[in-house]
């Protein structure tokens, strides 16, 4: 017997009938379809795209990487061709510009924050025009000046060499003798220069860099950068001469006074001396001992500005760590 359906106009009765039967829509429920909670099979009509772009849901986020699982990111552009070191031109538009404050900081003048102050004060010019606007970008080839000084944005390199004997510290020698640059010529493409000098027969720690500000700091006497030498002399050093050396002598119109002086050999060996000094005069250690009648047979610099030749064989070089570079910049 067919149940009487509520009138179409009686909405309250219709909703009550739906609630009683467990249905929430007015469509007839098929008794032969199992109520498993699984969605009904999709039909051809359901698969039709709802926008002008096939397969894209209306209102969907179509940005690159949208909807990706956490931890997965889009590969950065430009992408490299497999097996090559060149990039596809269609991948991205290259931007070789660099922010002006970063350019100034890379040149070794100051930090980026301090560079912003210099820019706002009108101390920086680009191609002859003073720039005061924050966020200004410069291109390779632009002439950037801090006052009258042209800045160089070249990557800073810091290299330590354990110099062997018979190499001279110069970029070019008319006599075609061996130079320290023969030992480091394959180290980097940047032009680097020695910080101070070691004469031909002196061995040990020698620093190279293209950081002009740091070079000036490490070589200026007012910063008192310490150097430690291991000296071999031709005869035993007397106690009287040792005391006189510690009092200092005049060299080139300047009083040179060692910071420390002590015997470095065995108890009975008075020919090996360790001397710590911050003076920057040419051949200062040799001249100091020669003044008191001693001839230096061997001279090895074992420490320079806190840098040592530990684990660095004679004639070999290495780049400084970031920690070592930061230490050097904090000296003085």
Catalytic residues, by residue number, are 199
Q: Where are the beta strands (DSSP E) in 184-295?
A: 193-194, 202-209, 227-233, 249-251, 254-256, 260-263, 272-277
DSSP 8-state class, residue 28: P
In the chain, the DSSP E strands lie at 98-99, 124-126, 129-130, 137-138, 144-146, 149-150, 158-163, 193-194, 202-209, 227-233, 249-251, 254-256, 260-263, 272-277, 296-304, 307-308, 317-319
8 Å CB contact between 135 and 120 = no
What does the block give as tokens for 136?
Answer: 């200004």
CB 288 within 8 A of CB 245: yes
CA angle 144, 108, 320 (to 5 degrees): 140
CA 260 from chain centre, in angstroms, equals 35
């Amino acid at each position: 017997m067919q149940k009487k359906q509520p009138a179409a106009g009686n909405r309250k009765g219709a909703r009550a009938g739906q609630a009683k039967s467990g249905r929430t829509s007015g469509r007839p429920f098929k008794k032969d379809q199992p109520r498993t909670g699984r969605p009904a099979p999709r039909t051809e009509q359901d698969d039709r795209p709802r926008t002008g772009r096939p397969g894209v849901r209306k209102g969907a986020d179509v940005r690159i990487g949208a909807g990706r699982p956490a931890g997965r990111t889009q590969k950065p552009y430009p992408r490299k061709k497999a097996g090559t070191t060149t990039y596809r031109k269609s991948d991205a538009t290259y931007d070789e510009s660099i922010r002006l404050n970063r350019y100034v900081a890379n040149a070794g003048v100051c930090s980026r924050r301090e560079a912003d102050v210099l820019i706002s004060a009108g101390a920086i010019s680009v191609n002859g025009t003073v720039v005061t606007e924050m966020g200004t970008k410069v291109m390779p080839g632009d002439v950037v000046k801090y006052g009258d000084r042209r800045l160089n944005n070249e990557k800073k390199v810091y290299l330590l060499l354990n110099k062997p004997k018979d190499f001279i510290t110069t970029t070019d020698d008319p006599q075609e003798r061996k130079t320290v640059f023969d030992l480091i010529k394959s180290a980097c493409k940047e032009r680097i220069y020695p910080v101070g000098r070691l004469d031909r027969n002196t061995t040990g720690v020698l620093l190279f860099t293209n950081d002009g500000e740091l070079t000036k700091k490490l070589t200026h006497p007012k910063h008192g950068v310490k150097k430690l030498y291991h000296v071999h002399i031709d005869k035993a050093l007397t106690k009287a001469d040792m005391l006189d050396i510690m009092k200092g002598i005049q060299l080139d119109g300047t009083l040179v006074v060692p910071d420390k002086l002590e015997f470095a050999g065995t108890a009975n060996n008075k020919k090996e001396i360790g001397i710590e000094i911050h003076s920057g005069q040419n051949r200062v250690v040799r001249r100091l001992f020669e003044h008191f009648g001693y001839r230096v047979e061997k001279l090895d610099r074992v420490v320079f500005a806190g840098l040592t030749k530990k684990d660095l064989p004679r004639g070999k070089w290495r780049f400084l760590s970031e920690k070592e570079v930061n230490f050097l910049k904090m000296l003085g």
